[in-house]
Amino acid sequence: MRWQGQRIDETDAQALPGMENRTGFLRTVTTPEFAGMTFHEVLAKSALNHVPGPSKMPFNWTVNPYRGCSHACVYCFARGTHTYLDLDAGRDFDSQIVVKVNVVETVEKELRRGSWKHETVALGTNTDPYQRAEGRYRLMPGIIGALADSGTPFSVLTKGTLIRRDIPVLVDAAARVPVDVQLSIAMFDETLREAIEHGAPSTQARLDTVRALSDAGFRVGVFLMPILPHLTDSVDAIDGALRRIKEAGADHVIYGALHLRAGVKPWFLQWLSQHRPDLLSSYRVLYPGSAAEAPKDYRRWLARRVKPLIRMHGLEARHSDDRPLRRSMGAPAEPVTSATPLWLFEQPAAEPAAPSRFGAPRAPEPVPTLF
């Protein structure tokens, strides 16, 4: 494995004799309570990651205490990053978890620098900070405390119900700095959720977590993303999801279509071939070659479907494409042209298939007119 980027040269004067120099420290841990998982404990050289300039993300800094994620979401865009460690983007990403055991003291040191400008730091942008490993290592309370102590605002995005453990820590931090909390909840059919994100908490458990955070005083956002073409983009599916999100006490919703980077696309298409082979040809047209994003025409079609429903449910309508860019705010507007056949958005481009456990391909649906 290429672990050089995860090692550190460090001498600890207070360590036991013979343990002063921790150069190249690396420990691999397996435990019965985390069967099938391996934790690679490493010392991080840095904790604050600067987001590259061309990124569309509306923040400049992130902290990721873990690499890899036991939530095992087939569609996770971060899968490809595991290949940098000579691990695969499939099973290894789900079960070989890199733990930055010194991340708290590292971020504390970086936040004390005179050059730090107290910009917003995003937690949970690459892999989930409240995945199962957090139950063992308890890194997030220290990270949250360090950010609040330094006067640095931050946001948390997670699928993990373990965030409920840290509600008192988050409440204390929110009394000192701006804190944004979002839950990622994309699958509202439990059979589909179990198949496509089988390591993540159930949908209802995450909705209960939205309620707990809302009751604690947070304006909780829900990331209804990714929306999967032909699987979760029907009017009934979106309307039902938004109804449950609203009932859970969420303040707003951010939604977006499936994004398939090179590192995740083979794994997702492999999953699709096993569970919904009738959709393969449609997905290959929607995401041809190296294309990662759904076509603009599909995203516009999805916006016309989702935004009226969001307004109807009293949730703040936001879409991943609507987020302000950190730079290049004066870019020209996109021309409204149609290069993709609209029938691709309404039904699979394939011969009729036998019904699967997620249901047979549906007939075209009209876009609702609610306003």
For residue 90, name the pLDDT band (cuts at 50, 70, 90).
Answer: confident
Give the pLDDT of residue 34: 85
Give the pLDDT of residue 91: 82
96 token code pair = 């070989």
Give pLDDT tens digits for 27-57. 888 888 888 889 999 999 999 999 887 656 6
Angle at 150 between CA 146 and CA 152, to 5 degrees: 95
DSSP output for 232-243: T-SHHHHHHHHH
DSSP output for 148-188: HHTT--EEEEES-GGGGGGHHHHHHHHTTS-EEEEEE----
Q: Which of 351, 358, 235, 345 is nearest to 285 (CA)?
A: 345
Which H or E run contains 3? none
Give pLDDT tens digits for 326-341. 433 233 333 333 344 4
125 token code pair = 């942008």
CATH H superfamily, domain 185-315: Aldolase class I (3.20.20.70)
DSSP reduced 3-state for 316: strand
DSSP reduced 3-state for 93: helix
The region of weakest confidence among 6-20, 42-56, 97-111, 151-165 is 6-20
For residues 94 and 36, the answer to whether their CB atoms sit within 8 Å is no
Distance CA 60, CA 53 (A): 8
For residues 123 and 63, the answer to whether their CB atoms sit within 8 Å is yes
Give pLDDT tens digits for 122-146. 998 889 999 999 999 999 999 999 9
Give the pLDDT of residue 84: 74
Which residues lie closer than 8 Å to 25 by C-beta, 6 or more apart? Answer: 7, 8, 10, 42, 43
Distance CA 79, CA 106 (A): 25
Q: Would you tell me how many other CB atoms lie within 10 Å of the CB of residue 52?
A: 8
Whose tokens are 């993709």? That residue is 340
Residue spans per domain, the chain: 21-183, 185-315
Q: Would you tell me how many other CB atoms lie within 10 Å of the CB of residue 49?
A: 15
